Amino acid sequence: MAELTNTALLLGQAVLYFTVMMMLLHARRSIGIGVFMCALGTMHFLETYLASVFYVAMPFGAVSPGSAVLFAGKLMMLLLLYIREDAVVARQPIYGLLFGNFLIVGLVLLLQHQDTIAMGPSRLPDIGFVNEIGWLMVWGTVLLYIDAIAIIVLYERLGPMFGGHLGWRFLVCGAAVLTFDQAGFYLVLHLMTGAPLSVFMAGWIAKMCAVLIYTALFVLYLKFFDDEKKWLGNRSFKDAFQMLTYRERYEQLLEDANRDALTGAFHRRHYEQHAGSFLKASLDGGRPLTMVVIDIDYFKGVNDRHGHHIGDDVLRQIANLLSANLRSGDFLYRFGGEEFVLLCDQLPAEAAVSMAERMRRHIENFSEAELPERVTVSVGVATAPEDGATIEALFQTADKRLYEAKRLGRNRVCGPVFQD
């Protein structure tokens, strides 16, 4: 009888939790998204406390409402927040929970060094227990961080498979990530409290039941209270991961540092700002300056046949090969989509053509061994002052020779004609 009562109560808790949180999410435009986020965050301490000490009997074993109802519910709510908003919004509570719980542990470490006085019979604080809970909170928060990112990325990754079936995507993502979470949390709980394997199995079954319940409630919500079309839409799982992990901020730092985020080469703006003065300094010093313009042949076909992620890898690998052959003082720029420009001080024309030919052969040989298909480049070479005394004139000459290389069949270097 007690088991059935506990089952009914857990079901009621899940329904209450979902109903209140979805009301807050639904009303975010009028009351603000902060209300939803605060409600989500305030439950975390209770989740951890219940998961460590509060268990109830169920037909399949002992279950904690903290894990089965509250933690599973929080994870599913983070996914719903992402689906309804975007990764920039969803990452805010994720990182807030992460840093907030680290702060709690830091404060607990300080509190245990203070002398306390009793305010009444049996009212002394159990610092040992609070300390234990604090470390469980840290581990639970780290797991939540991994879980939240994983469930969002997995949701987008499974988009093409499930299409517009939001319920199935929601169910599969929740079941997969909560299985991982149960294994991770049980491992630490077992080491700290000696929890038996039956706790893992019962908790896993309870979380799978919770996912089914939350999925059913989500489907009912879409059917009766919202327009499902507003929830549909696929984003790139790579873009989602980059946004969730603040990767785009790193790319912005690279951009601000004049580096192309994908290849690590200098970007075109740096070229436009500095190439002219670089040429002037070389000419004023009586030194030749060579410009090498490199374009990947039939690069659009690589993207079409293998996808943009492979195309990006090809660009990255070729940029690495070019960078590996630079001398000190040379500058490599990503000039366009698949076009690179190399500026080489104190490199005469004949030596530059030889260097460009070595690079061309190296890229071709490397691609045959390491890339999904053979990749070649066409190269145009021009040297100042013979081929131009301004950066614009020098580029125009090198660009003409690049297109001459393409006209002659690609996979070749065109430079000045040398007299014997």
Amino acid in position 4: L
Q: In sequence order, which ranges of 194-267 are alpha helices (DSSP H)? A: 197-224, 237-244, 247-256
Q: What is the pLDDT of residue 246?
A: 58
Backbone angles phi, psi at 215, to 5 degrees: -65, -45
How does pLDDT run across 162-206, given as a tens digit for each residue?
776 888 888 999 999 999 988 988 888 788 778 788 878 988 999
Detail the DSSP E strand segments found in 150-207: none
The domains located in the chain, with CATH, are 2-245 (no CATH), 259-414 (3.30.70.270)
Count of beta carbons in the 10 Å neighbourhood of residue 173: 25
- Mean pLDDT, range 355-376, rounded to an integer: 92
Structure tokens given for 197? 């394997």
Most confident region among 92-96, 284-288, 294-298, 309-313 by mean pLDDT? 294-298
Structure tokens given for 122? 């049996």
Backbone angles phi, psi at 383, to 5 degrees: -125, 130
Place of tokens 């614009």: 392
Q: Give the residues across from 383 on adjacent strands.
A: 290
How does pLDDT run across 223-234, given as a tens digit for each residue?
888 777 767 665
Poorest-pLDDT segment among 11-15, 311-315, 327-331, 403-407: 327-331
Q: Give the residues across from 384 on adjacent strands.
A: 289
What DSSP letter does each residue of 331-384 carry, written as one string? EEEE-SSSEEEEEEET--HHHHHHHHHHHHHHHHHHHHHHSSS---EEEEEEEE
Q: Which of 12, 22, 17, 20 is nearest to 218 (CA)?
A: 22
d(CA 225, CA 308): 39
Q: What is the pLDDT of residue 290?
A: 95
Poorest-pLDDT segment among 264-268, 294-298, 342-346: 264-268
- Mean pLDDT, range 277-300, rounded to an integer: 92
Poorest-pLDDT segment among 85-94, 116-125, 321-330, 351-360: 116-125
In angstroms, what CA-CA distances link 385 with 217, 279, 287, 324, 403?
74, 9, 9, 27, 21
Confidence of residue 41 (pLDDT cuts 50, 70, 90): confident
Amino acid in position 288: P
Backbone angles phi, psi at 9, to 5 degrees: -65, -40
| Residue bearing the bigger pLDDT, 228 or 47 | 47
Q: What is the pLDDT of residue 240?
A: 64
- Mean pLDDT, range 330-356, rounded to an integer: 92
Confidence of residue 243 (pLDDT cuts 50, 70, 90): low
Query: Structure pTM?
Result: 0.59
Is the pLDDT at 402 greater than 90? The verdict is yes
Average pLDDT, the chain: 85
d(CA 359, CA 382): 16
Confidence of residue 153 (pLDDT cuts 50, 70, 90): confident
Q: Give the residues across from 266 on adjacent strands.
A: 259, 333
Structure tokens given for 166? 């939001």
- Mean pLDDT, range 322-349, rounded to an integer: 90
Most confident region among 66-80, 287-301, 317-331 by mean pLDDT? 287-301
Is the pLDDT at 392 greater than 80? The verdict is yes
Is the pLDDT at 419 greater than 60? The verdict is no
- Mean pLDDT, range 146-162, rounded to an integer: 86
Q: What is the pLDDT of residue 248?
A: 58
Q: Which of 108, 94, 3, 20 is nearest to 56 (CA)?
A: 3
How does pLDDT run across 74-112, given as a tens digit for each residue?
999 998 988 888 777 888 888 888 888 788 778 877 877
Poorest-pLDDT segment among 132-141, 239-248, 340-349: 239-248
| Residue bearing the bigger pLDDT, 140 or 363 | 363
Q: What is the pLDDT of residue 128?
A: 67
d(CA 103, CA 306): 46
